[in-house]
Structure formats: C-alpha cells, structure tokens
Amino acid sequence: MQLDGKIALITGGGSGIGRETAVLFANHGAKIAIADLNPKGGQETVQIITQTGGQAIFVQTDVSQAAQVENMVNAVVGAYGRLDIAFNNAGIEGHTDRTVDVTETEFDQIMAVNVKGVWLCLKYQIPQMIAQGGGAIVNTASVAGLVGTHSMPVYGASKHAVIGLTKSAALEYARKGIRINAVCPSVIRTPMVERGFVEFPQFVEATKRINPMRRLGEPIEVAEAVLWLCSDAASFVNGTALTIDGGFTAQ
C-alpha cells in the first residue's frame, strides 16, 4: 500500500479528478479528508470510500476564503492528528471569451479560486507539515498553464500562476521535508469538461482530433500520476509540473 497510514486532503474532491484521486488514495491505504464547496458531491465521495472499508470525512470549504481554508486544515488535523498529503485540486473554468470580452467580475472569480485558493491552501498546509516533519503537496495546474489558450485567457493565466506558486514554494520548503509539485492535465473527461461540451458539442471531436492519441484523458489517469507524486516512489521529485496530456504539448 503506497500510502498506508497517511492522511490525505483533497480539495475539489466532490467530483472528477478530485473524487477519482480520493478513492484511489483510500484504496492505497490513506485516510481521506474531502473538501468541496458542494456538500452533495463531497458527501457522495465520502460514501464511496466508506462503503468499501475506507475512512473519509467531508469539510465544506470555499478555498477562496482564508477562514474556511484555515478551518479545513484544522478539521483534518482535529480528526486525524496530522496532514501528510494535500492535493489542491479545486478550480473553476469560467466562460469562453476573448481577452477584451472577459468581465472584471469573472476575472476576479477565476483568480480567487484558481490562484488565491491554491495559495491559501499552501499557506495553511505548509506550517502543519513543517511542525510534523514533512509532507507532499500536489497542485492542479493545466496544459493551459504551459501554452496559450484561445478564448480562455484568464483560466490560462490562473494556471500559469499555479505553476509559478508551485515552483516557488517547492524551493522555499525543500529543506523542511516538503515536496511540492503540480500536474498539468489536458482535456480530461470530467463534469467541468462535459459542461463545456454541452454548450459547444462540436468541440468533442475537435478536441480528440488535436490530441496525438485521438481521445480525451480519463480522471483515473491523472489520479495515478498524483498518487505517484505523493508517494515515496517520487521522493526526489520536487518543483515539477508534470504534463498529463497524451502528447498535446509535444506538438
């Protein structure tokens, strides 16, 4: 069991990549804390884990709010006594608009969740990990953090920022026994992506065509990468942005 006895916190764990990762972590021996803004999805993930003999709790959290993020970390430590692993996965995509058409409100919303949310998680997770002697953190970025993204400029900017935060924090806390990495998925079959396909159904086949593997990624394929990054098998991996994209950015 790669994570046997570890305590893992997953934000955005109520669906998609977060849920798949939480279940996978539980199957590998970790005790899980699910954080999500949506209580229904978060409780469903907890139920999936507990029905198969795992341990999980849910903490409703808006990651853009400092007090709620602090409470989230305190709740995990209160329930389990420590925090070994954090997967900061919560994020939003916003609408499809060109740069000049994005509203200030939407800009602020995307940045608040995708950038401020990751920073707040790091702000409260890292001191706990320092106090207990180390830990592993993975932040969800995107291939949109590596290349330009037509008609999703703020989302792309937010994911570039996540990679920057990841690399800076990794340098700052490497000697404290904390490894901090990011994953950069391309288009993964999640509820977020499915919402976009409902709005623009023509993008389904177009998305497949531009990927060298001619398909979408699956949440489990990202979850397996996150599992590896959080395990001792990746003990010398720090400050990296791991691309999970079927070769998209190799073109």
Q: SS in 3 state form for 82-134?
A: CCCEEEECCCCCCCCCCHHHCCHHHHHHHHHHHHHHHHHHHHHHHHHHHHHCC
Pick the CATH number of 7-189+218-242 from 3.10.20.30, 3.40.50.720, 3.40.630.10, 3.40.920.10: 3.40.50.720
Cβ atoms of 71 and 79 closer than 8 Å: no
pTM value is 0.96
Catalytic residue, from 80, 124, 155, 173: name it: 155
Q: How far apart are CA 39 and CA 100, in angstroms?
A: 35
- Residues with Cβ within 8 Å of 213's Cβ and at least 6 positions away in sequence, in order, are 246, 247
pLDDT tens, 105-161?
999 999 999 999 999 999 999 999 999 999 999 999 999 999 998 889 999 999 999
Instruction: Check residue 196 and give its pLDDT.
Output: 65
Q: How far apart are CA 169 and CA 123, in angstroms?
A: 10
Cβ atoms of 48 and 73 closer than 8 Å: no
Q: pLDDT tens track of the chain, all 251 residues?
A: 799 999 999 999 999 999 999 999 999 999 999 999 999 999 999 999 999 999 999 999 999 999 999 999 999 999 999 999 999 999 998 888 999 999 999 999 999 999 999 999 999 999 999 999 999 999 999 999 999 988 899 999 999 999 999 999 999 999 999 999 999 999 898 877 776 666 667 777 778 888 999 999 999 999 999 999 999 999 999 999 999 999 999 99
Instruction: Check residue 1 and give its pLDDT.
Output: 72
Task: Identify each DSSP E strand in the chain by its residue range.
Answer: 7-11, 31-36, 56-60, 85-88, 135-140, 178-185, 241-244
**Is 155 an active-site residue?**
yes
The one-letter amino acid at 102: V
Please state the domain extents for the chain. 7-189+218-242
Cβ atoms of 39 and 64 closer than 8 Å: no
